[in-house]
Amino acid sequence: MTDSREIELDGHIIDSGIMEHVLDSILDMGGDFEILEFSVGKRKTDTSYARVLITGTDNGNLDAIISTLHRHGARLVDTEDVTLVPAEGNRIVPKGFYSTTNYPTQIRIGNEWIHVENIEMDCLIVVSPDKKSAKATPMSKLQKGDLVVIGEHGVKIKPPERSRSHEEFEFMGGVISSERPTETTIRKIAREIIDTHKKGLKVALVGGPAIIHTGADEACASMFREGYIDILFAGNALATHDIEYNLFGTSLGMNIRSGELVSAGHKNHLYAISEIMRAGSIRKAVETGILGSGIMYECIKRNVPYVLAGSIRDDGPLPDVITDAMVAQDEMRRYVPEIGMVLMIATMLHSIAVGNCLPSYVMTVCVDINPSTLTKLMDRGTSQAIGVVSDAGAFFPMLLDQLHQIQKK
């Protein structure tokens, strides 16, 4: 063992499991530790503090350990300013760049701690030329000459601590198994929607076309009309199916009321797109009275912003669809700062995409009939997500009903 360094941790580090993760990581990586100072918060509102000396098997190992501990909220005792290096070219990351988490982050520059704006996972931190502000920047936006933060020193993150109060709906990730009581879970989600609005934050829906297939178009449209959802992230499919259903009563040619395939109904999908093409946009189709109900109609009527991102399996697509994936990502990012809660329903692609752009403190509920969608979302870093194994066709009517019941009280 050659070298060693001191790190410090504070906050509710025992009951949030942070201290455990720190010590585990050191042992997992082959390092050793000595706890130099440990003052435990005696009561539930007191915070604890630890100072730990870390030893690695060699300097490389020590760096690796420090880097891992950083992601658990540890910081070096001897904090200096961050190191900055200009990017050598557009979209070329400098060696040793600091890769963001989705936790609240600060950097030290000119001996002051400044807040990193627009935090989002797997980005770089770019500092403004005057060194007064810093911003999480995805690789695709990195410009030659941008000042990029290198390494972990001078960077401080705040991993989520468990709440001090005995809350109804624990804000913590994990799949709610298909064996839990459905109505109870949905009532909690309904309360969170109402609470998010009380805090002045917005609720976004990330939705897939199964919302329409499974017969939940009307319940979902009501959620927009009644102001429960404020932003829509979706693809060409959700919008087209919604418009098809509201123009022709079918979704991919199936009559949603009777469950039967309508003859020549498979063309309705293209007719729906065509009607919007002729009008010029969804907004114009609503304004000229062509489209008079449904999810997209309610979005237009209530000026709910929507981002329809294209994908390679799209038919059409609708004129409102952004076919370039990078442009669509940027458009989604515009709305992230105002969001307090996201409902992700029956779409893996869009859920992961939106999840990637969200800070860790945004309440994220993901509903899918397939448990593996939920697992993948969390594996991809949206670890704060609460997964519910359920069916959109049952979920939306039950959620709307619970919202109405709560509002009546």
Nearer to a second copy, 15 or 81 (CB): 15
Phi, psi (degrees; rounded to nearest 5) at 57: -75, -30
Closest CA to 249 of 305, 312, 294: 294
Q: Residue 329 interacts with a second copy (CB under 8 A)? A: yes
334 C-beta neighbours (distance < 10 Å), count: 10
Q: Which of 4, 106, 293, 311 binds a second copy (CB under 8 A)?
A: 311
22: left (phi over 0), alpha (psi -120 to 50) or beta: alpha
Q: Are 163 and 171 in contact (CB under 8 A)?
A: yes
The one among 9, 33, 116, 342 contacting a second copy by CB under 8 A: 33
Q: How far is the CB of 16 from a second copy (least distance, A)?
A: 7
Q: According to CB under 8 A, which one of 58, 59, 86, 92 is a site residue for a second copy? A: 92
Q: Which CB, 135 or 267, lies closer to a second copy?
A: 267
**Cα–Cα nearest to 136, from 291, 348, 360:** 360
Subset of 183-212 contacting a second copy (CB under 8 A)? 183-185, 188, 210
- What does the alpha-carbon distance between residue 40 and residue 50 come to, in Å, rounded to a whole number? 8
**257 touches a second copy (CB under 8 A):** yes
Cβ distance 38 to 48 under 8 Å? yes
Least distance to a second copy, CB of residue 403, Å: 16
Least Cβ distance, residue 337 to a second copy (angstroms): 19
Task: Indicate whether 267 belongs to the interface with a second copy (CB under 8 A).
Answer: yes
Nearer to a second copy, 109 or 357 (CB): 357
CB of 327 to a second copy, least distance (A): 8
Task: Tell me which DSSP letter residue 327 carries.
Answer: H
CB atoms within 10 A of CB 352: 19
**Residue carrying structure tokens 């609005």:** 197
How many angstroms separate the CA atoms of 21 and 24, rounded? Answer: 5
Q: Does 117 bind a second copy (CB under 8 A)?
A: no
Q: Which residue, 229 or 273, is less far from a second copy as judged by CB?
A: 273
What is the C-alpha separation between 108 and 115, in angstroms, rounded? 9
Alpha helices (runs of H) in 202-253, residue ranges in sequence order:
210-213, 217-225, 236-248
Asked if residue 246 lies in contact with residue 217, where contact means CB atoms within 8 angstroms, the answer is yes
Query: Would you state the structure tokens that stand for residue 326, as one six-digit string?
Result: 């990078």
Pick between residue 19 and residue 84 the one whose CB is nearest to a second copy. Answer: 19
Per-residue tokens: 309: 């991102």
Of the ranges 59-67, 112-120, 195-203, 220-228, which one interacts with a second copy (CB under 8 A)? 59-67
**Smallest separation (angstroms) from a second copy to the CB of 288:** 15
Residues near a second copy (CB under 8 A), total: 114
Interaction pattern, residues 68-87, with a second copy; x per rule: CB under 8 A: x-------------------
d(CA 408, CA 23): 50
Q: By CB under 8 A, is residue 58 in contact with a second copy?
A: no
Convert residues 142-171 into a mask of x (bound to a second copy by CB under 8 A) and - (unbound): --------------------x-x-x-----
Q: With respect to a second copy, which residue has the nearer C-beta, 112 or 143?
A: 143
Enumerate residues 342-401 that contact a second copy by CB under 8 A.
348-350, 352-353, 356, 369-372, 375-376, 379-380, 389-391, 393-395, 397-398
- Decide if residue 118 touches a second copy (CB under 8 A): no
Cβ atoms of 56 and 31 closer than 8 Å: yes
* Least distance in angstroms from the C-beta of 331 to a second copy: 10
Query: How do beta strands 83-86 and 147-150 pair?
Result: antiparallel
SS3 call for 235: strand
